[in-house]
Structure 1
Amino acid sequence: MPRFIVEQAFFSDMDLPTHEKGDHLFRKIISNNAEKGVTWVKSYVGRDRTRAFFVYDAPGPDEILQAGECNRLPIDDITEVSVLDPYFYLGIGESGRKTVPPSHLRTPWLPFSYLIA
């Protein structure tokens, strides 16, 4: 399933209830998204609270736009993305061969000096 980053204006006075009303609101958004084949993976809000960035899995941008209309959420920009995992490349030398044992790869909580030692 393709992955997308969706950008929209985020208003600082936007009410995001955390009680039953919020539960109902987010369940409705998730349900509307599912009807279009869209999965809301994660969201980020800019520090200045003027922009929000959403990670969606969806068949395509049209389905995201349709879900946005159903949810009455304006969408400013949609970008299809792919994952770039920097930990995949750790331990790969110029020759293309692994220079660090695989057990040390994909462990971002370890100090970097330990990974390259």
Structure 2
Amino acid sequence: MPFYIIERNFVEQLDPPIEAAPGINLINDEEDVRWVYSFLSVDRRRTYCLYEAASAEAIIAAAERAGMPYDVITEVDGRVMPTGVLAAVE
């Protein structure tokens, strides 16, 4: 299944509550989307999330149901390691 990086921009600083994760994961499960992990910017107004999904449309459907932005969605198929070697996204 393809992997995607999603950039999300927030108007307010994001303080992600731990208790929200199960609800987001339930929506993702229903849309056949897997949230791998996210990075949070220092100003807490942007996240960069790695997802596994059948399509960008599935990610959009899950994001809309969860009330989350999805400003940029980019399909990725490899990682460049510090050694210069190309590795699969896992």
TM range (shorter): 0.7 to 0.9
Q: Provide structure 2 residue ranges, at least 5 long, that are not aligned to the other structure.
A: 86-90
How far apart, in 1, do the equivalents of 2:79 and 2:69 lie?
A: 28
How far apart, in 2, do the equivalents of 1:74 and 1:85 lie?
A: 27
Aligned residues: 83
Higher relative contact order (CA 8 A, sep 6+): 2
Q: Provide structure 1 residue ranges, at least 5 long, that are not aligned to the other structure.
A: 90-117
Q: Give the superposed CA RMSD.
A: 1.6
Instruction: Please identify the structure whose Cα radius of gyration is greater.
Output: 1
| Higher share of residues assigned helix | 1
| Higher share of residues assigned strand | 2
Q: How does 1:1-117 map to 2 (within 5 A)?
A: 1-10=1-10, 11-12=12-13, 14-18=14-18, 22=19, 25-86=20-81, 87=83, 89=85
Identity of aligned residues (%): 34
After TM superposition, the score normalised by the length of structure 1 is 0.64
After TM superposition, the score normalised by the length of structure 2 is 0.82
